[in-house]
Amino acid sequence: MAEVLLSKVRKNYNPAILKDTLRNINLDIKDGDFIVFVGPSGCGKSTLLRMIAGLEDITDGDLLIDGKRVNDVPPSERNIGMVFQSYALYPHMTVFDNMAFGLKLKHMDKKEILRRVVQAADVLGLEAFLERKPKALSGGQRQRVAIGRCIVQNPSVFLFDEPLSNLDAALRVKMRLEIAKLHQELNATIIYVTHDQVEAMTLADKICVLSPLRPSAESNLEQFGSPLELYNHPVNLFVAGFIGSPKMNFLKGEIVSISEEKCTVKLITGEKVTACVNATRGKVGDSIILGVRPEHLLTKNIDAADGGKVTAKVIVTENLGAEFYVYMDSGASEVGSDFTVKSDSELEVVAGDEFSVGIPAAACYLFDAEGIAFPRTQVYKRS
C-alpha cells in the first residue's frame, strides 16, 4: 500500500478565466487509511480523485505517492486501481474474464492470473458467479465484480468514485458493509468519493469536506479530520450543516454574556440559551448563529435543560418506527424557519401544536457572523 500526499494542489480548467475548481488542497493520506471526499455537487471531489488517478492534469502543486512525485506519470504507471460509478463491465465477457482482462493485457502468467482472480472472488463472495456474464448478475454483484477487477491488480491505492450511487437503499447499506470489511481484510489505502455524508461517517477513518469554491476563499478544503471530530468540532457553519443527519438546526441571535466556559445568547424570538463554548473572541451584542443537532434536543423534563428551551409551531411529524421526527417553524432559523426534532419514541404532537424542547448547554454549537465556530468547552453525551 502507499501514502498519498497533496501539496498546494490547484485545478483550473481555463486559466484564461482564472476561475479555479480546486485551490490550495493540502492532504496527507497515510498508508492504510480509508479517506472519504465528501461535499455537495460541484465542489470538485470527483475532480480531485481523477487528479490522483492521473485522469486529470494538475494545474499547480505536487502529488506524491509513496514519496514519488507523480504529476507527470501516466495513469498506467501509478499502480492505482479505480472503481467508477458505472460498473464499466464488458457485457460479452464472463465475470472471470472481466476480472482477468487487465492482467492478460500485461501478459501475466496464466497460473498467476487464475490465483489472483480466485483469491479476489473468494474475498468478495463471487466464487459461484465466475462463469456468469454481467447481465445475469444483480447490481450489487456487478459492483463487486468491478471491485474485484481492481483488487487483482494489487494496486498501491484504491480509488472509489461514488460506487454505490446506482444501488437501491437496502443494497447500499449491504455494500457499505462489504467495502468496510474489504478495507479491514486488505489493510488498503482507500480514497472514496461520495455525496452521501452517512456513507462518509460510517466508512471513513478521516473525512475531507469540500465546498464549491468561493472567489475570495483561500481553499475549498473546509476540514479534514475523523468523523467524530467533524461531528463534535466543525470548524465552520458549512461543515456543521453538512455533517450529521438530519442536518443541524441553526438559530439566529446575539451574545448577551460571555465567559471562558459558557456564553449566553438571545435568539431573535426573545428566548435565551446558554452554550458551553468559549466565545471570548467575540463581544456582547455580536450577531451569532446557534447550532443544535435534532438528536440532542430534549422532549421530556425540558425545564431541567441547563441551556434553555425553544418553543415553536409544529408543521408536520414523521413516525419511522424506531425514530420520530417533528418539523417546526421556529422563526429564528438561519435558513428559512425549519427546526427539526428527532426522538427515539413517538411524541403526542400534531401539526399546528405549539411544542417546546429543551436544549442542553453542552449540545450547543456557536458561530460568529462570518460562520466560524467558537471552540466548544464540552461535548454532549446522551444519558
340-350 residue pLDDT tens = 999 988 888 99
Taking only Cα atoms into account, the Rg of the chain, rounded to an integer number of angstroms, comes to 24
Q: How many CB atoms lie within 10 A of CB 14?
A: 9
Total structural domains within the chain: 2
DSSP three-state, residue 115: helix
Residue 125 confidence (pLDDT): 85
CATH number of the domain within which 320 lies: 2.40.50.140
Q: Is residue 377 part of a domain?
A: no
Answer yes or no: do 209 and 154 share one domain. yes
Instruction: Tell me how far apart the alpha carbons of residues 269 and 355 are, in angstroms, rounded to a whole number.
Output: 14
- Asked whether residue 374 is assigned to any structural domain, the reply reads no
Q: Are 98 and 90 in contact (CB under 8 A)?
A: yes
Return the minimum-mean-pLDDT range out of 226-230, 267-271, 286-290, 365-369: 267-271
Least confident segment among 228-232, 267-271, 309-313, 330-334: 330-334
Residue 337 has what pLDDT?
56
- Residue 380 inside a domain? The answer is no
Domain span at 321: 247-367
Tell me if 110 is assigned to some domain.
Answer: yes
Of 35, 23, 30, 27, which Cα lies nearest the Cα of 63?
A: 27
Indicate if 155 and 135 belong to the same structural domain.
yes
Model confidence, pTM: 0.89
**Does residue 77 sit in the same domain as residue 20?**
yes
pLDDT higher at 76 or 376: 376
Q: What are phi and psi of 260, to 5 degrees?
A: -70, -25
Helix (H) or strand (E) holding 194: strand 189-194
Same domain, 234 and 252: no
What is the signed CA dihedral for 12, 14, 16, 21, rounded to 10 degrees? Answer: -30
**What percent of the chain clears pLDDT 70, i.e. is strictly above it?**
98
Q: Say if residues 186 and 151 touch (Cβ distance below 8 Å).
A: yes
Backbone φ and ψ for 335, nearest 5 degrees, come out as: -125, 120
Transcribe 346-366 into DSSP letters.
--S--TT-EEEEEE-GGGEEE
Q: Has residue 138 been placed in a domain?
A: yes
Q: Per the domain annotation, does 104 fall within a domain?
A: yes
- pLDDT at 124 (0 to 100): 84
Q: What is the pLDDT of residue 336?
A: 46
87 pLDDT higher than 60: yes
Cell of 209: 469536506
Element (H, E) at 171: helix 169-186
286 and 173 fall within a common domain: no
Residue that terminates a domain, selected from 191, 209, 238: 238
Percent of the chain with pLDDT strictly greater than 90: 59
Which residues lie across from 319 on neighbouring strands?
324
Within this chain, do residues 255 and 342 fall inside the same structural domain, yes or no?
Answer: yes
Label residue 68 by pLDDT band (50, 70, 90).
Answer: very high
Grid look-up 437496502 returns 170
Residue 195 pLDDT > 60, yes or no? yes
Listed residues 238, 272, 287: the one ending a domain? 238
Of 261, 254, 293, whose CA–CA distance to 275 is shortest?
261
Question: 324: how many CB neighbours lie within 10 A of its CB?
Answer: 18
Same domain, residue pair 171 and 225: yes
Residue 378 lies in a domain: no
Same domain, 106 and 152: yes
Grid cell locating 16: 484564461
Q: What is the pLDDT of residues 4-21, one digit of tens each?
A: 999 999 999 887 777 889
Sign of CA dihedral 302, 308, 312, 317: negative
- Residue 190 sits in the same domain as residue 70: yes
Query: In this structure, are 229 and 359 located in the same domain?
Result: no
* Residue 64 within a domain: yes
Which CATH number covers residue 157? 3.40.50.300
CA–centroid distance for 340 within its chain: 21
d(CA 295, CA 298): 8
Distance CA(301)–CA(267), nearest Å, equals 22
| Same domain flag for 180 and 296 | no
The mean pLDDT value for 135-163 works out to: 88
Answer yes or no: do 155 and 220 share one domain.
yes
